[in-house]
Amino acid sequence: MSNRTVVYAAGVLLLTRDEPRKFLLMRHSDRWDLPKGHAEKGEHAYQTALREMEEETGISASEVQLDPGFRYRSTYEVTYRKQPGEVFEKRVTFFLGWIDRPVDIICTEHPESGWIQWHPPHQIQAQAIDPLLQAVAEYLEGSKTEG
Ligand SMILES: Nc1ncnc2c1ncn2[C@@H]1O[C@H](COP(=O)(O)OP(=O)(O)OP(=O)(O)OP(=O)(O)OC[C@H]2O[C@@H](n3cnc4c(N)ncnc43)[C@H](O)[C@@H]2O)[C@@H](O)[C@H]1O
């Protein structure tokens, strides 16, 4: 078992109810990401996800319903410039958030954002994005089958 310090984060995949379905990605200088960020002390993962979404996109939590049946967890190693030489274990919980339609985004921490048409399987980023989108696709397919 790893004895690295664990860093918790959470995020949300925002997906529109309106067709054609679209989901939201935030642009970093070098990659795409979801609205997400580090947990503050005492927060539940869903609170972190909604707070970060509000901070990074300007979308109010009241406009979004987190799907109670979906959770996706991702664990990977990260380093921080401020703590050279130390490797952290990062654990991110992603939620599926339903929003009626694409809305204008007020980018506070990212240079840009994009509502991308939902047509899985997607090939956007192998490690960080594609497995989450695949899990959502399988979840939605399963929900359809269950009626
Ligand atoms: N404990 C601490 N000590 C010091 N400073 C702290 C700190 N906690 C927070 N900070 C500061 O807060 C800043 C960011 O805060 P937030 O803005 O809150 O962080 P974030 O979205 O969760 O993550 P970030 O953009 O940093 O990185 P990500 O995990 O996506 O991506 C990181 C790397 O992992 C890769 N990656 C992402 N997902 C992956 C996956 N599933 N598998 C493998 N690699 C993945 C990415 O490509 C990227 O290279 C940090 O840059 C740092 O300055």
- Assign 22 to helix, strand or coil: strand
Q: How many CB atoms neighbour CB 142 within 10 A?
A: 10
Q: How many helices (H) and strands (E) does the chain have?
A: 2, 7
> What's the CATH fold of domain 6-146?
Nucleoside Triphosphate Pyrophosphohydrolase (3.90.79)
ipTM of the predicted structure? 0.88
> Ligand 1 within 6 A of 30 CB?
no
Q: How do residues 7-51 score in pLDDT, each as one tens digit? A: 999 999 999 999 999 999 999 999 999 999 999 999 999 999 999
Determine the Cα angle at 70 with ends 47 and 74, to 5°.
Answer: 75
Atom of ligand 1 nearest to the CA of 74: 41
d(C-alpha 60, C-alpha 35), whole Å: 13
Tokens of 44: 């539940």
Query: Closest residue (by CA) to atom 21 of ligand 1?
Result: 37
Residue 122 Cα to ligand 1 midpoint, Å, equals: 22
Amino acid at 96: L
User: Which of 74, 78, 133 to probe ligand 1 with, by most ligand atoms within 8 A of CB?
Assistant: 78
The pTM assigned to this predicted structure is 0.93
